[in-house]
Amino acid sequence: MSKTYRFLAVLLILMVSQILMAQNNDNPAAGWLACGGCGFAIVMIVVGLGIAIFLAIWVSRDAKARGMDNATLWVVLVIFLGLIGLVIYLIVRPKGNIIKCPSCQGKRLEGSPKCPQCGNA
């Protein structure tokens, strides 16, 4: 048995024994609380990840449509700073409406000299 497998086996035994101990608790509410707390943490992580991915995609598309050449940098900033990064982005980004480009149907900033997608005026 390799060291990694032994480590995983010990980890599994620890996890299982913890679950069993939680269920054997005198107070039945404690087990439910522990389980609910765990589920809540998982839901929060999934929701947080979902929001982060959604924001990253939105910022990436918005920054490209506005012709910002550092779109990737803004995506990284929003992922790491979260809501604060988003607020900074909303303040710093070029203001104006996003319109459909008449040439390529892509999104571009209204009044921009050229389309960031196709380069047409």
Site residues, Zn ion (CB under 5 A): 101, 103-104, 106, 115, 117-118
- Our CB check for Zn ion shows the closer of 77 and 109 to be 109
CB of 2 to Zn ion, least distance (A): 57
Strand locations in the chain (E)? 98-100, 107-109
CB of 108 to Zn ion, least distance (A): 6
- Our CB check for Zn ion shows the closer of 43 and 118 to be 118
Short-list 59, 66, 101, 98, CA closest to 82:
59
- Our CB check for Zn ion shows the closer of 39 and 102 to be 102
CB of 18 to Zn ion, least distance (A): 58
- Our CB check for Zn ion shows the closer of 45 and 118 to be 118
Main-chain phi, psi angles of 108, to 5 degrees: -150, 160
| Pairing mode, strands 98-100 and 107-109 | antiparallel
CB of 114 to Zn ion, least distance (A): 8
Q: Tell me the C-alpha to C-alpha distance, in Å, between residue 11 and each of 15, 20, 21, 66, 94.
A: 6, 14, 15, 50, 52
